[in-house]
A = this chain, B = another copy of it.
Amino acid sequence: MVAAMESFHVSTRRRTDFVDITRQVEAAVSELGLREGVVTVFIPHTTAGITINEHADPDVMADVEAVLERLVPWRGDYAHAEGNAAAHVKASLLGSSARVLVSDGQLRLGTWQGIFLCEFDGPRTRTVWVSA
């Protein structure tokens, strides 16, 4: 039987921070008992996102951070009064979830792919949900 949902927490360290959560998602898939199919990795926050990208060279996510900051600067003429409008916009650009295939009980990813929690308004403790 496949459990309904697993969750885990991630502590981020900076305002913008990309944390490789591939191993935590693998552990969640194991707990779920899913052998074949697709899992959804979902973040229940509105100033953070989920993306899949290269996890071998941290410079890749540093470039993602720099481009997003250039396109959606932290300081700007925003309507939202809490001061973190840019984080909300970045969250919608990267999205609140990723889908990953599962084969023989294991995550099936490309050679260079890792799953990243994208913090845009940290540091904070974030929650990630994984469900089949």
Residues of A within 8 A of B (CB): 4-5, 36-38, 40, 42-46, 51-54, 57, 59-60, 62-64, 66-67, 71-72, 77-82, 85, 88-89, 91-101, 103, 108-113, 129, 131-132
Contact = CB atoms under 8 A, between A and B. Distances in A.
A51 B93 CA distance: 9
A63 B38 contact: no
A80 B99 contact: no
A101 B44 CA distance: 10
Contact of A64 (B36, B62, B92, B96): B92
A110 B5 contact: no
Contact of A46 (B37, B60, B85): B60
Contacts of A96: 51-52, 98, 113
